[in-house]
Each structure stands twice: as C-alpha cells, then as structure tokens.
Amino acid sequence: MSIVDVATSPTQNPLSDPAPWWRQAAVYQIYPRSFADSNGDGLGDLPGITSKADYLHELGIDAVWLSPFYPSALADGGYDVADYRDVDPRLGTLTDFNAMLHALHTRGIRVVVDIVPNHTSDQHTWFQEALASERGSAARARYIFREGSGPDGALPPTDWVAAFGGSSWEQVPDGQWYLHSFAIEQPDLNWANPEVRDDFLTTLRFWSDRGVDGFRIDVAHMLTKDLTEPLPSQAQLDALPRDGMHPMVDRDDVHEIYAEWRQVFNSYDPPRTAVAEAWVDKARVPLYASPQGLGQAFNFDLLEADFDAGQFETVVRDNLTLAELSGSSSTWVLSNHDVVRHATRYGLPQPGRDETGRPVRKHGVDWVISGGVSPVLDRPAGERRASAATLFMLGLPGSSYLYQGEELGLHEVAEIPAADRQDPTFFRSAGTDLGRDGCRVPLPWETGSDAGSAFGFGTGGSHLPQPGWFSDYTVAGQALDPASSLELYRSALSLRRMLQTDEQLEWIPTGRSEVLRYRRPNGWEIVTNFGTEPYQVDRDDVLLASRALDAGTLPGEATVWFGDLAAN
C-alpha cells in the first residue's frame, strides 16, 4: 500500500465555506450506542462521541450522521423513538448534545440527525394515550387503528406482513388492531392527521434551532397511505404498480409533506439539508432528491453490487444521470448499520441474485455456521476488495456515506450468541435471519483488552460482545501504520477534500472489462482493477493506492489515484 504524506488538518474551518457543503461531502455515520462509552455502562453515548472529536477531525470527514440517540426502549436499535425532542438518558442529556455539537462544529464537522417519521415507539406518550383512549378517539387517530376481520374481529384486518416478519397488525386489549410496518413496538403514524404533521415541523425546528446542519429521513417513502376500505390483500399490494398511487409506498402525496419541510429547512441560514432513505423505483428517486423536497436521496446500488466492474460502472452511470435529473448530487454507500459490512461481503463467495437483480443473501444469513464465522470467509480478500471499492467510491462526484468502523477494515461479527442478540429481525425470523447486530458491535479503539475494558470502547464492557479478533483491527494498532486501513482512509479523505471540485466525471476506456478508469475535470484520475491480473497504467503521478504499484503495474483488486495536487 503506498500512501503519500498529506496534511490531515484543513487550513480553514470548512463551515465557513459558502458552497452547499452536502453536495460532495464525506459523511460518517455514527451508531451512537456502539461508538464510544464515556461512563462505563457498556452503551456508547454522546459524551463518548465528544471525546472522539479529534479522531473524527483527523479522519478528515465533513459531517457525521447520528443514528437515533433519542429516548427509546430499543426494540429496533433506537428507530423506535419515544420522544423526538430529547436524548436517551443512557446516552446523555440535551446539554451533552450541545457540547458534542460544539466540539464537532469547532472542528469543521457538520452534524446530521436521524428523523424517524413513519412510526413512533409504543412507549411514546401519544401511543400510550392511544392505548388508554377509546376507539374512535382523537388519541387513536394519530395512529392507524382498525377493527379486526373474521368472527368477532379476532383476526388481523389484513394479511399484511411486517418488514421484520409476522403480521403488520397487533391487537390491543379492547380488540382493535394497530398497524406497524416494522416491529410490533413501532406503531405507524397517521400522516393524514394534521397534528402529526405539525408535530414533526416542531421537531425539525427544535433540532435546527439547536444548530444541527441536516436530517436523514428514515423510510421517507412510507409516510402517506391510502387506507380506504376494503383494504387490499398482501398479494394485491405486491401486484400493484409503484407509480405514485400505490396504497402503501412511495405515494405522490408524500411530497406535499416534504415541500412543507423544505420551507422549514430554507427558513434557516444556511438552509438545513436532508437526505431521504427511500427504497423506491429508480425513476422516482429524483422526486425525493429535488430542491423543492428533501434535496438528496440515498442510493444503495453500490452497497447491493458485487465487487464487479460491470455492476459498478452501471451503478455510477445510472445514478449520475438520476442526480442530474433532480439537480441534486448523488450519494454513495458501501456499508451502513443495516447490512453486512463490505469487507465481509466481498470476502464471501458472490451471492446469487433474484429476478430483480438483488442479492439473494440478506444480512449474511447464508454464510454463518452456528457459533462462528463461515469457513468460506476470505478475510484478506475481503479487505483488499473493500479498500479498492472505497477508493473507487471516494473519487466519485457526490457525497460518500461511510459507516463507523469501516475505516478500520472491520468485519461483520457473526459469532454473537443468540442470548446477546438485539435485532428484531433475528427474533421475528426465529433466528433464520441473523439480523443486523453483527455490524453494530462496539468499535475497538485500543489494543489489549483488560476484562471489561472492551478494547477501549469503555470501562464497563460492551452491550454486544466483541470477538477476540477485534484486537487486530483497533484504532491504536492502526494509527500511524502506513499499511493500515485507517491510514488509507485518512489519506484518501484528506486528498479528496482538496480534489473534490467540479461534479463531472469522464470514463476512460481501459481495454479490459474488469478495469474501470474515470477522470475528474481537474485531472484527478481513478483506476480500479476488479480482476486479479495486474494492469499496466500509463501515469506515474500516484497520489494514493490501495495496493502498491509495481513498475507502473496496478495489482489485482486494487485502486490507484493519480493527480497533481499543485494544480488544484
């Protein structure tokens, strides 16, 4: 691995840059309960994030996105929010939030928080009120309550299946049923109710007033629903086109909500940003990403692609076209808190694909032998390919979203005993799907782990067990090691900040189907060899490479960046 020596400290606080920062930002996702634990209770917290502000600064990211840190019963890792305008006491206080925001802002790092509008927690005061109120009441009208079907309404209103498995309906003591598209503890809100709409405007203002820079919108495509009776069956829902009129997902009328949110965002200086998590047909992504709406939308296409030149090229071409249509910039993601880490995905035999082209493997279920990591996982290959894919991604125009721990080359943790698992996916699938805990294990900061010290995560253990092999992936063990994944990320992010200018990309033919090469207008050039045969390159102004070049030859499964810093 060859790394040029580049300064990691920006000379100027980028917060003072008037250009829309989000268009080409490197955004680092923090899963707060698993990042750093300041008080030894085994759960990461906001003061823990503050204590790592220098680490984040030296990493060279432009923004952090915090997964939910709100009060929550943790039925879905915090995506079951009990109070949208407070901090979970186990994670800190609003004062801690302010301190964290200040520590990050003074280091030039912006802060994006997660908004979960499709559902609340069943512990939310609104839902508790709904349970205590009678059918037909205003309290129930904030959610989606229906009578059951069958004799005495003893069966759910429909056969709809929730995202985590099982019925989408749960019965309450007086016999009514409520809709939950995700876990039972996540009742869906009724977005036809103006009170719900107003309350979220208040939440957006609450965090914007506090100084947060943007919002990540959870399942942004599911808020509005057409629940006109008779309700369709699951099979009918599945068969309906997703053309904006589907009763449950990606309805055109959801954009009325985001237009209203946009007015709130734009009433701040600088305007607050938002990025939609919207699993919708490609052609409809620009609706979410438009400047009149949320402004940017995730695409998870790289994350779903194999380590394959053809797939990567198609993903980039498609998404740059879509970004142009919306006037937004594209987003790129290789890992997040919902999927098997990319170092591990790429170290496994490539998965089969279903008829829609999606990988059949979900959450790594087919690669884990009970009690241990699959023997077919090739760790070095996974890490090599992950580094190559990351450098490929970081060269692209648009925003790159990084997930905590990927800078360490961290693998998925497969060997979590059933008794320690937390993800509802695991329980609702009766363990046939291992779920997402394996990418949410607390980070290893220090080498050498005394009992309870949890590799420097905190002094009180770790809420998900860390495996012994984490000692090979610690921050302390990698810092200043030029051959480490961490130093590769630091160098890449530092260079990227200097080079990420115009949002254009030009493909350069390589004569080899497994090699991709693209150039940015300032001469920055990225070459990725997805194959295993070395590839001869014709430039020698190497800025960075995931594997060292040998006499002008790029080894297999590697990416090199060329460019002239002096010209930028």
Would you tell me the crossing angle of helices 485-499 and 379-394 to the nearest 10 degrees? 10
Among 526, 536, 490, 538, which residue's Cα sits nearest to residue 5?
490
Reduce the DSSP state of residue 303 to 3 states and report it.
Answer: helix
Residue 218 or 557: the one with the smaller Cβ distance to ligand NOJ is 218
Q: Which is nearer to ligand NOJ, 31 or 307 (CB)?
A: 31
Name which position in 66, 111, 219, 393 contacts ligand NOJ (CB under 6 A): 219
- Residue among 74, 112, 116, 543 that touches ligand NOJ (CB under 6 A): 116
3-state secondary structure of 51: helix
In whole angstroms, the minimum distance from the beta carbon of 378 to ligand NOJ comes to 28
Q: How far is the CB of 277 from ligand NOJ (least distance, A)?
A: 6
DSSP H or E segment with residue 477: helix 475-478
- Total residues contacting ligand NOJ by CB under 6 A comes to 9
Among 182, 207, 489, 561, binds ligand NOJ (CB under 6 A): 182
515 by DSSP, 3-state: which?
A: strand
Q: Which amino acid, 109? A: I
State the nearest-atom distance from the C-beta of 330 to ligand NOJ, in Å. Answer: 19
Q: What 8-state DSSP symbol labels residue 106?
A: T
Nearest 5°: the CA angle 78, 84, 88 is: 55
Three-state secondary structure readout of 211-279: CCCEEEECCCCCCCCCCCCCCCCHHHHHHCCCCCCCCCCCCCCHHHHHHHHHHHHHCCCCCCEEEECCC
Rounded to whole angstroms, the Cα distance separating 150 from 171 reads 13
Least distance between ligand NOJ and beta carbon 335 (Å): 12
Residue whose Cβ sits closest to ligand NOJ: 79
Partners of 373 in the β-ladder:
368
Q: How far is the CB of 474 from ligand NOJ (least distance, A)?
A: 26
Among 35, 79, 265, 489, binds ligand NOJ (CB under 6 A): 79
By CB under 6 A, residue 28 contacts ligand NOJ? no
Nearer to ligand NOJ, 55 or 279 (CB): 279
Query: Residue 76, interface with ligand NOJ (CB under 6 A)?
Result: yes
Rg (CA), the chain: 23
The residue among 223 and 560 lying less far from ligand NOJ, judged by its C-beta, is 223
Q: Check the CA dihedral 202-207-211-213 and report its sign.
A: negative
561 forms part of the interface with ligand NOJ (CB under 6 A): no
Q: Where are the beta strands (DSSP E) in 181-262?
A: 214-217
- Closest CB to ligand NOJ among residues 63, 320: 63
From first CA to last CA, the distance across the chain in angstroms is 24
227's CB contacts (< 8 A; 6+ apart) are 144, 146, 247
Q: Please identify, using beta-carbon distances, which residue of 336 and 491 lies nearer to ligand NOJ.
A: 336
CB of 128 to ligand NOJ, least distance (A): 20
Which residue, 331, 309, 323, 315, is CA-closest to 509?
309
- Minimum separation from the CB atom of position 221 to ligand NOJ (A): 11
* Nearest residue (CB) to ligand NOJ, 79 versus 312: 79
Residue 43 vs 558, nearer CB to ligand NOJ: 43
Q: Which of residues 323-342 bind ligand NOJ (CB under 6 A)?
A: 337-338
Residues in touch with ligand NOJ (CB under 6 A): 76, 79, 116, 182, 218-219, 277, 337-338
